[in-house]
Amino acid sequence: MIQPANSASVIASAVKRSLGAAGLTLAMATFAAGANAACDYVVTNSWNSGFTANIVISNDTGAAVNGWSVAWQYSGDNRVTSLWNATLSGNNPYSASNFAWNGAIAPGASVSFGFQGTGSSAEIVNVTGDVCTGGSSSSSSSSSSSSSSSSSSSSSSSSSSSSNSSSSSSSSSSSSSSSSSSGGQCMEMCQWYQDPLRPLCANQDNGWGWENNQSCIGRNTCESQSGNGGIVSTCGGSSSSSSSSSSSSSSSSSSSSSSSSGGSTSSSSSSSSSSSSSSSSSSSSSSSTSTSGGGGLYTYADFPFGVAVNGRFLNTPEMQNTVVNEFSQITAENIMKMSYMHPAEDTYSFAQADQLVDWATTNGVGVHGHTFVWHSDYQVPNWMKSYSGDFEAMLDTHVTTVAEHFAGRVQSWDVVNEVIDENNNCWRNSLFYQQLGADFVGNAFRAARAGDPDADLYYNDYDTEGGNANKLQCLENLVDDLLAQNAPIDGVGFQMHVQIDWPSTSAIAQAFQAIVDRGLKVKVTELDVPVNNPYASTPFPQYTSYTATAAALQKARYKAILKTYLDVVPPAQRGGFTVWGIWDGDSWLLDFSERQGADDWPLLFGGPSDGPYEAKPVVDGLIEAFLGE
C-alpha cells in the first residue's frame, strides 16, 4: 500500500448513486402516514436532442417521511435513458423509489434524484405519488439549448457502457450460443445485472474473455451472479430469461450520448429491447465490443482518468466492467512494485503484471506503472537489502529491465516513490539513500528512460499537496535538482490522500502551480476522500454510517479538487487524475491503524463486494466539475 501521512487522509462519504434501467421492476418503498411533501420537476439542462432533470421531494410538514415513490409521464417524445440516486421502473409512465439511505426525509429537509433523457424539447411535467401533496408543482431551471456536442453529457454509470436506442432487432455475436426456431434465429446471451446483453464465450465457462474482437462472459460466471440476471435467449427480437427476474414489459427509447471535454468527443449508442418475464435488453455488437461506454467518467476528460486496482480485480467481473465503463487508465496497487517484479537477484517475475497489462491492452485501457523504486520495507526484496555488490549498477539494471519489459504497453511510471522526509534535511533515510545518497533518484530516471524512451516519468509522493509547507518546499528542491541534472523527469504525482477539509483548495492550487511553473506535468495519482478524519478536533469517527450529509460533503470535496486541477493545470500539462480504488470496501484506509478500525466510504462506488456496484453522488460532483457547473 501507500505510505500514510499524519496530515493526509481522506474525507467524505458519498451517497449511493445507481443507474436504474428502464424495464426493471424493483421493490417500492413504504410511506409514513400523514407525511406529505412537495414534489418538483426541475429541468437542469437541455439541448437539441436531450435534457437532464431533477425531481426534488421537499418535506415541508411537521412529520418525517419514511420512504417515498413518485411517478411522472411525458406527453411528447421525452424519454429517460439513465437515472441516479433512486430506483427506476417503467417506461413512460416512469416511477422512482428511494434507496435505503435516502428514504427518510426529516421535516424541513429534501432529497432529490436526477436523470438524463432524450427528446427534441425538454418537457415540464407533473410529479405524482403518495408522498406528494395534492399532486406536485413543476419548475424549470435556466438552461441553454445547443446543437453542439459540448452540451450536457450523460451521467456515468458503473453498469452501463452505452446508451439505448429503440430497436426491434436482436443483436448477434458469433461467440454466443444460437439455435434456429420458428421465430427465426435464436441465441443465448448473458444478462449481466443491468447492463446491455453480453455475448457468452464459446471457449471458456468462467470469467471474462475476448473472442471475435469483442468481450464475452463465461456461462458459469453469468449464472453465478447475485440478484436478477442470467442466461437470456433472444429470438427474432424478443428475449426470455432462464433465471428468475422481475417481470416488466417495455421497449427502450431512442438515445445517443455525446460528451466533450477539451476538444475530445466520445459518443456511442446501442440498441435494446426487453420483454415481459425478463429484465433483459438486446445489445448491438457495438455495445458488446465497446471498451469505453459513452457517458463514462473518462469521456469527460482530455487526459487519463484512472483508478487503482487490487489483487482481486482479474477475478471480479464487476470491477472489470466498472473500469471499462468509467475509466481510461489503471494503476496496480502492488503487483508492479519491486518485491513482485524482482523477487531474487537473478529472477524477474512478470506473470501477474503481464496478465493485468494484457487485460488493459485488450480492453483499450491505459496503464500507469507503480513503481520502480520505493523504500517501504515489505516491498523491498530481501536479497536487495543484503546486496554486497555494485548497488548502483544493480538498481539501474532493475529499473531498466522492468521498463524495457513493459515498454509500449505502459504509458507512464512512478519512477521513484516517497523519498522525501521534511524532518530529515528533506531525505528519507531509506536503503537506497544509505547506499547511494541523493544520486539514486536521478539515476533511476535515467535508467527508466533507457528502458522506455516514450513513457512519461513521474516522481510521486504524499502530503505534498499544499497542507505541509515544509514538504512542498522539499519537493520543489528535489524537482529543481533533477531539472538541473537534466534528469528525464516529465512530471510530478500528487497522491492526494486528503481530508474533507484539509488542505484548502487554495493550498492545493499553490502546490499544483509550483510544478506547472517548472514546465512539468501534474498527475493526481492516488486520490481518496474518507468521511472520517482521525486528526480533526471533533470526536472520531464523525460518521458511523453513510449519511446524506457525509455524502454531500464528499461530493463537494471531490468536485472542488477536480475543479482546482482543471483551473490550475493547463491542458498540455495534465498528466492524469486517478482515484485509489474502485469499491469502498477495498480501500487501504480501512486497515490504516490511525483510523482505529472505523468504517469509511472514501471512493466512488459502493454496493456489494462483487457487485452490482452503485455509483455515489461524488460521481455527479466530478461530472459537474468537468462541465464547469
Count of CB atoms situated within 10 Å of the CB of 370: 27
Sign of the CA dihedral with 275 first, then 289, 153, and 48 last: negative
Spatial distance between the Cα atoms of 15 and 547, rounded to a whole number of angstroms: 7
- Is the distance from CB of 256 to CB of 163 less than 8 angstroms? yes
Segment 224-227 long-range contacts (CB within 8 Å, at least 24 positions apart): 225/192, 225/193, 225/611, 226/608, 226/610, 226/611, 227/193, 227/612
The DSSP symbol for 344 reads: B
Name which of 72, 44, 45, 41 is nearest 57 in CA terms.
41
The number of angstroms, rounded, from the C-alpha of 54 to the middle of its chain's C-alpha atoms is 22
- Cα distances from 105 to residues 127, 235, 499, in angstroms, run 17, 45, 28
Spatial distance between the Cα atoms of 304 and 320, rounded to a whole number of angstroms: 17
- Is the distance from CB of 607 to CB of 223 less than 8 angstroms? no
Spatial distance between the Cα atoms of 553 and 543, rounded to a whole number of angstroms: 12
Residue 43 amino acid letter: V
Point out which residues pair with 493 in neighbouring strands.
Answer: 460, 523
Region of 185 (left: φ > 0; alpha: ψ -120 to 50; beta: rest) is beta
Give me the DSSP letters along 549-601. HHHHHHHHHHHHHHHHHHHHS-GGGEEEEEES-SBGGG-GGGG-GGGTT----
Lookup: cell for 227: 440478484
172 phi/psi in degrees, rounded to 5: -125, 150
* β-pairing verdict for 412-417 and 456-461: parallel
Please, what's the b/e burial string for 45-70 (b: 16 or more CB within 10 A of its CB; e: otherwise)?
bbbebbbbbbbbbbbebeeebbbbbb
- Is the distance from CB of 429 to CB of 421 less than 8 angstroms? yes
Count of CB atoms situated within 10 Å of the CB of 361: 14
- Cα distances from 537 to residues 5, 177, 542, in angstroms, run 17, 61, 10
In this structure, the chain runs to a length of 629
Positions marked active-site: 526
Q: How many helices (H) and strands (E) does the chain have?
A: 13, 31
Residue 497 amino acid letter: H
CA angle, residues 439, 441, 443, in degrees to nearest 5: 70
